[in-house]
Amino acid sequence: MSSQSFSLQADYQTFIDELGKSDFKGDINTDLATRIVFATDNSIYQNLPQAVIAPYHHDDIVCLTQLLSHSKFRHIALSARGGGTGTNGQSLTSSIILDTSKYLTHILEINPEQRWARVQSGVIRDQLNDALKEYGLFFAPSLSTSNRATLGGMTNTDACGQGSRIYGHTSDHILESTCIFADGTSHIIKSKPTKQDLKQNSTRLQSLSDKLSNQLTAHHQEISQRFPKLSRYMTGYNLAQCQNHDNNNHLNLNKLIAGSEGTLAIVTELKLNLMPIPKFKYVFALFYTDFQDALKSAHQLLAIHPTSIETIDDNVLSLAKKDPIYTELEDFFPREVTR
């Protein structure tokens, strides 16, 4: 890669210069070191961005997107990024990265009586649950990367993780989201809006909702027939579940925004449903002489409604035994299994 390819393209430099003269209060990073850090995530891919921008608050993103909506900057892409825990390169771009994890990290409100919390999109999942422990509540979707995955990132991927059979996905726990559209307009989107809420919607949001609802109704049969019967949509927009045809065609835009990888809106705040922390947890270890038999028995195990099922084969166990921490766990396994 030539040294010239590390330099900012002229049109991006123009954009950065104009952003610096605006009301934007956050960080604007164009140095090579920062760009290289954000060129990778938890995937195998690498893509060097032109700039990394960290908004200080909601209004910064409004300012940024309004500038991007100008015709001379319409070709410039903006990729929102949380903890960078995605394994498919979702947060990478050769354009501009919007880093929500630096400043949008505040838990704004906790209502233990009504069991909800309002957070900024850069709040980490475990950060929220640590704050909820004293109330006996937790945010249910659980990921293996929960100590670094942001709630905005979990929304953009409609994350679920362990326990999703019982607790569902992130979208099932979104009560409302504060979103910024590509034109810089800001909207509060409620998952179950009242008639009064709908009346208070902006003209733009109402227009978009009406158009989408009409299209979903017109193509309901085709969507029902063609869309795969998936519980989690990571291969396209969740058109199959964002409209409830059994409830007066109620439209839940948060079902559509969740899993859209930030392509429909930038989420800055979330109001999330909370669950009581279970009083008891049980772990059962079942041993099989054949891995295929273990897989075949999964259907029977589902009948007892477990929170999750994990399988460990000989290869995984052999690798685990090479880890120093295994000495603390080996008593959980019969000797004949650990030989």
Whether residue 226 is predicted with pLDDT greater than 50 in this model: the reply is: yes
Query: Which amino acid belongs to residue 78?
Result: L
Q: Across all residues in the chain, what is the average pLDDT?
A: 90
Q: Which of 78-82, 114-118, 153-157, 199-203 has the lowest mean pLDDT?
A: 199-203
Specify the length of the chain in residues. Answer: 339
Strand 51-54 versus strand 96-99 pairing type: parallel
Instruction: Say if residues 80 and 41 touch (Cβ distance below 8 Å).
Output: no
Give tens-digit pLDDT for 127-168: 999 999 999 999 999 888 999 999 999 999 999 888 888 888
Model confidence at 3: pLDDT above 70: no
Residue range 41-72, pLDDT digits in tens: 999 999 999 999 999 999 999 999 999 999 99
**89 or 244, higher pLDDT:** 89
Query: Is the pLDDT score of 293 beyond 70?
Result: yes
Residues in Cβ contact with 182 at an 8 Å cutoff, skipping those fewer than 6 apart: 65, 68, 69
Cβ count near 291 (within 10 Å): 13
* DSSP summary character for residue 73: G
* Pair of tokens at residue 254: 């948060």
Between CA 339 and CA 327 the distance in angstroms is 13
Structural domains in the chain, CATH included, are 3-99 (3.30.43.10), 107-276 (3.30.465.10), 291-338 (no CATH)
What residues contact 36, with CB distance under 8 A and at least 6 apart?
A: 48
Tokens in use for 6?
A: 């590390």
Give the pLDDT of residue 335. 64
Residue of 157, 119, 121 lying closest to 141 (CA atoms): 157
